[in-house]
Amino acid sequence: MPQLTDQGLQTINDLAQRYGVSPEAVMALLQALVNGNGRMAQFEHRDLGGAGQWMAGGMTMVGDMFNHGLKAKVDGLCSELSQLLATQPFVPFPAGTQSQRQGGGQPKTSHDFSDTGSVSLFVPEPPGRASGQWWPAELGVPNGTGAQNQVRYAYFGATHRLAIELNGHVTVYDTLDHQISGVSQQQGRGGSLTLTSQHGTVSVAMLPVVAVDGVQTQASESPVAPPSEPHRPDSAPETDIFAKIERLAELHKKGILSPEEFAAKKAELLSRL
């Protein structure tokens, strides 16, 4: 999600104080609404009763289904955030979604925006960047995009690239010869991502990292050798192994790689020394 303005941060804090939740809970709902094109939200946060859903028009579900006070709190927060999103000149809805628009280019809604229209939530995109485009411009138009549990991804088949945004950081991967047909994530925020291709499923952590936040890396080879050229442990320089461990640690820190996957891959690499 794009960076919030100072006014946007103040708005988040004001809503948190008024509804008696943490600012992180309000941010979770805002991200969920951005992912849901401003009209629906699928979220998970302890302040909101765990996992839940909201849809404009009256549908609200929380983990504690008989807690009507919590349902009213979630509905109020989502309604106000949905109103705020509808008044923004730039709304970072994920590419590939469709939004209903009316006069002025704003999403249709039945709410009164008179009290929220002056709030500017997001820092505008740089000139020349398409609205909602969070990946590097040089990647072009993606074959497909999606978002799950506060993770966004975009796949570029022609250039064999996969861009993933997590916690404000964008990592670009080389998809090698994989023809990606789907992306899935383990349950919970920060769960590891796996891809579906003609070769079956593969963890994102097994793909070479091309760039992080626009900075090119030296990951020009896959951590896993191609089937036609089996990897020989005794041929890997120690510096190369340590570099791979460092890259895996960074993926683990960002939440893309689960603790179990990181530990297993680290042990495998160390065994080659």
**pLDDT for the residue 129:** 53
pLDDT in tens, the chain (273 residues): 567 888 889 999 999 999 999 999 999 999 888 888 888 999 999 899 899 999 988 789 998 888 999 999 999 999 999 998 888 765 555 544 443 333 333 333 333 333 444 677 777 655 545 556 778 888 888 887 777 666 778 888 889 999 988 777 889 999 988 888 777 766 544 456 788 888 888 888 888 999 888 888 764 444 443 334 444 444 445 567 777 777 788 777 777 777 777 777 777 777 766
Return the structure tokens found at 91. 């709304």
pTM over 0.85: no
Q: In b/e form, how buried is each residue of 201-238, taking b as 16+ CB within 10 angstroms?
A: ebbbbbbbbbbbeeeeeebeebbeeeeeeeeeeeeeee
In 49-192 the beta strands, taken as DSSP E runs, fall at: 50-55, 59-62, 144-148, 151-156, 161-166, 169-174, 182-185
SS3 content of the chain, % helix, strand, coil (to 5): 35, 25, 45
Residue boundaries of the structural domains of the chain: 6-93, 143-270
Rounded to whole angstroms, how far apart are CA atoms 94 and 247? 27
**pLDDT for the residue 91:** 59
**Three-state SS for 95?**
coil
